[in-house]
Structure 1
Amino acid sequence: MTTTSAAARVPLVLGAEAPEASRALLAAVHGAFGATPHMFRAVANSPAALQAMWGFFGALGGGRIPARLGEQIAVAVADRNRCDYCLAAHTALGRKAGATAEAMSAAQAGQSADPATAAALRFALQLVEQRGQVGADDVAALRAAGFDDGQVVEIVAHVALNLFTNYVNVALDVPVDFPGVKLRPR
């Protein structure tokens, strides 16, 4: 089934309408979520992009950064990039990972009562705002908060994945299919 909402800039493909090479991955996405979120249906127009995205999610899901922190990073990056889709999706996923509504709202603003989480969010937003041009002191601050080198690299990877998903959803105007969350005023 292909769906194109008034807002979507590419078809939201599913089933036989999806390229053959995307179908097995879409089935895996459906199995993981119990549905096939619109973002994956938009990305499925390119089997290579879908494989990259799904593989990236899977790899980081098996990493050392806990799911809750990964979702907090995602909402901070989504808010900064004005991505309604990712803000809604990752707020819901963060709640599922055990974060309170208050913790997710604070993360959206790049804040946390937990010093290590606050340091990770600060670093993630520095990466976004400075387009990766952070300094040795920025990495040292993350280490001082308790993150080892592997975790530092994973935080960078989480930011990179979220930039990818933010850009897909914003550029292609993918309709939000998670409970809406308001972006912070600018």
Structure 2
Amino acid sequence: MTRITLIDPADATGQTAEQLAQIKAAFGMVPNMFKAVANSPSALASLWGAFGALGNDRLGAKLGEQVAVAIADRNDCRYCLAAHTGLGRKAGATAQEMADAQAGRSADPRTAAALAFALAVVDKRAGVPASDVESLRKAGFDDEEIVELIAHVALNLFTNYVNVALDVPLDFPAVKLTRATA
């Protein structure tokens, strides 16, 4: 049971109503996470703005979703794991690629480097050594992409924390956490 009121888009007004309408147009529904965040118009504006900005970044949707599932699994966020697994499949990732990403792995060296870095940022609370950044560079990432990768980490930490702390109910097909069983 959620620990916070989920805002019904039909009851929303002003900028919140406009953003929830945009979210519905993008997803075909208003996911419960956005309904929870809609309790704060400024938090919703920040979240939706970040989704929009990072949805058009150089890393691409597929890699962004792979990073999201790795972080969701690390943080035991069932909501984000379910949502981003589906979004990753829509972005062109295979079921195996998403399962591998959830475990922080990839057969693609560039994706593997991104996942390793993202998880190191999470695990070390951003206190990564210079060698971790250098590993990204060796895998072909430039400064813009490195900053975008950190932005993805930050966005996913926020959504993980919202969903876990507030016990937001799933409205996507569930995916089994792997970290929880480790």
TM-score scaled by structure 1?
A: 0.95
Distance in 2 (alpha carbons) for counterparts of 1:19 and 1:78: 31
Aligned residue for 1:119, secondary structure, equals helix
Identity of aligned residues (%): 63
Distance in 1 (alpha carbons) for counterparts of 2:151 and 2:24: 24
Q: Which amino acid in 2 is paired with 1:103? A: E
Q: Which amino acid in 1 is paired with 2:174? A: G
What does 1:86-105 correspond to in 2, within 5 Å? 86-105=80-99
Q: Which residue of 1 aligns with 2:64?
A: 70
Contact (CA 8 Å) 2:2, 2:167: kept in 1 or not?
Answer: yes
**Greater RCO (CA < 8 Å, at least 6 residues apart):** 2
Aligned length: 180
Q: After the TM superposition, which of the residue ranges 14-23 and 26-35 deviates more from structure 2?
A: 14-23
What does 1:142-153 correspond to in 2, within 5 Å? 142-153=136-147
Q: Which amino acid in 1 is paired with 2:67? A: I
Distance in 2 (alpha carbons) for counterparts of 1:15 and 1:173: 19
Contact (CA 8 Å) 1:19, 1:44: kept in 2 or not?
Answer: no
Q: Which amino acid in 1 is paired with 2:62? A: R
Distance in 2 (alpha carbons) for counterparts of 1:89 and 1:110: 17
Q: Which amino acid in 1 is paired with 2:12? A: A
Contact (CA 8 Å) 2:113, 2:135: kept in 1 or not?
Answer: yes
Does 1:83 pair with 2:86?
A: no
Distance in 2 (alpha carbons) for counterparts of 1:37 and 1:155: 24
Q: Which residue of 2 aligns with 1:39?
A: 33
Q: Which amino acid in 2 is paired with 1:37? A: P
1:125 aligned to which of 119, 122, 145: 119
Cα RMSD over matched residues?
0.9
Change beyond 3 A, Cα 1:35–1:16: closer
Aligned residue for 1:90, secondary structure, equals helix
Aligned residue for 2:25, secondary structure, equals helix
Q: Which residue of 2 aligns with 1:54?
A: 48
Q: Which runs of 5+ in 1 are unaligned?
A: 1-6
Distance in 2 (alpha carbons) for counterparts of 1:89 and 1:35: 12
Q: Which amino acid in 2 is paired with 1:106? A: D
Distance in 2 (alpha carbons) for counterparts of 1:97 and 1:124: 19
Q: Which runs of 5+ in 2 are unaligned?
A: none
Q: Deviations over 1:24-67 (max 9, x none)?
A: 10000000001000000010010000000000000111110110
